[in-house]
Amino acid sequence: MNRVKAKEYASKALFAAAAIVCIVAVVAIFVFIVIRSIPALSKIGFFNFVFGDVWNPDRYDEYVTDPLAGRYGILTMIVGSIFSTVGALIIGGILGFFTAVFLARFCGPRVKRVFGAVINLLAGIPSVIYGFFGMAVIIPLFANISPTGDGAGLLVTSLVLGIMILPTVVALTKNGLEAVPQELYEGARALGATHEQAVFKTVVPAAKSSIVAALILGVGRAIGETMAVIMIAGNSPEIPGGLFGSFRTMTANIVLEMGYAGEVQMGALLATGVILLVFIAIINLLFGLVISGGKKNKGGKKLSLGVTMPKWLNFSAIGKVVSWVCAVFVAVFLVLIIGYIVIRGLPHITGDLLFKNYHYGGEPALLPAIVSTLLLIVVSIVIAVPLGIATAIFLNEYTKKGSKFVRIIRSSIDVLSGIPSIVYGLFGMLTFVVWFGGSSSILAGGFTISIMLLPTVIRSTEESLKAVPDSFREGSFALGAGKVRTIFKIVLPSALPGILSAVILAIGRVVSETAPLMYTMGSVLQPMPDGFLGSGATLAVALYALAGEYKYMDEAYATACVLMVLVLILNFFAGFIGKRLGKKFQGENNAVRKTKKQSKQSSED
Partner 1 sequence: MLFGKRKNKASSLPKTEPQETAEGVVAETAAEELSYDGGITVKEANLHYGDFHALKNISIEIPEHRITAFIGPSGCGKSTFLKCFNRMNDLVAGCKVEGEFTIGNVNIYGNIDVNELRKNVGMVFQKPNPFPMSVYDNIVYGPRTFGIKKRAALDEIVERSLKQAAMWDELKDRLNKSALGLSGGQQQRLCIARALAVDPKIILMDEPTSALDPISTGKIEDLCMELKNDVTVVIVTHNMQQAARISDKTAFFLLGDLIEYGETDQIFDRPKDKKTEEYITGRFG
- Judged by beta carbon, residue 423 or residue 491, the one nearer partner 1 is 491
Q: Which of 489, 549, 569, 582 binds partner 1 (CB under 8 A)?
A: 489
- Judged by beta carbon, residue 484 or residue 510, the one nearer partner 1 is 484
- Judged by beta carbon, residue 350 or residue 590, the one nearer partner 1 is 590
Residue burial 302-312, b: 16+ Cβ < 10 Å; e: rest: eeebbbebeee
- Judged by beta carbon, residue 365 or residue 495, the one nearer partner 1 is 495
Q: Rounded CA gap, 507 and 547, in Å?
A: 23
The CB-of-410 to partner 1 minimum distance in angstroms stands at 17
**Binding window for partner 1 (CB under 8 A); candidates: 168-176, 328-336, 422-430, 481-489:** 481-489
**Neighbour tally for 146: CB within 10 Å:** 19
Q: Rounded CA gap, 174 and 493, in Å?
A: 32
Of 557, 514, 562, 516, the C-alpha closest to 538 is 514
Q: Which of residues 364-423 bind partner 1 (CB under 8 A)?
A: 400
The CB-of-588 to partner 1 minimum distance in angstroms stands at 5
Question: Is the previous residue joined to 67 through a cis bond, with omega within 30 degrees of 0?
Answer: yes
186 is a contact residue toward partner 1 (CB under 8 A): no
Q: Contact at 8 Å (CB) between 105 and 203?
A: yes
Q: Which of 150, 340, 485, 573 binds partner 1 (CB under 8 A)?
A: 485
Instruction: Render 515-549 in DSSP notation, one character per residue.
Output: HHHHTTT-SS--SS--STTS----HHHHHHHHHTS
Instruction: Render 78-117 in DSSP notation, one character per residue.
Output: HHHHHHHHHHHIIIIIHHHHHHHHHHHHSS-HHHHHHHHH
494 is a contact residue toward partner 1 (CB under 8 A): yes
List residues bridging with 72 in a β-sheet: 55
- Judged by beta carbon, residue 304 or residue 586, the one nearer partner 1 is 586
304 is a contact residue toward partner 1 (CB under 8 A): no
Q: Rounded CA gap, 517 and 428, in Å?
A: 9
Binding mask 562-601 for partner 1 (x = CB under 8 A): ----------------------xx-xx--xx-xxx-xx--
4 is a contact residue toward partner 1 (CB under 8 A): yes
Q: What is the size of the binding site for partner 1 (CB under 8 A)? A: 33
**3-state SS assignment for residue 45:** coil
- Judged by beta carbon, residue 359 or residue 596, the one nearer partner 1 is 596
The CB-of-579 to partner 1 minimum distance in angstroms stands at 16
Q: Rounded CA gap, 117 and 122, in Å?
A: 9
**Binding window for partner 1 (CB under 8 A); candidates: 357-365, 375-383, 435-443, 482-490:** 482-490
Q: What is the contact surface with partner 1 in residues (CB under 8 A)?
A: 1, 4-5, 400, 469, 471-472, 474-482, 485, 489-490, 493-494, 584-585, 587-588, 591-592, 594-596, 598-599, 602
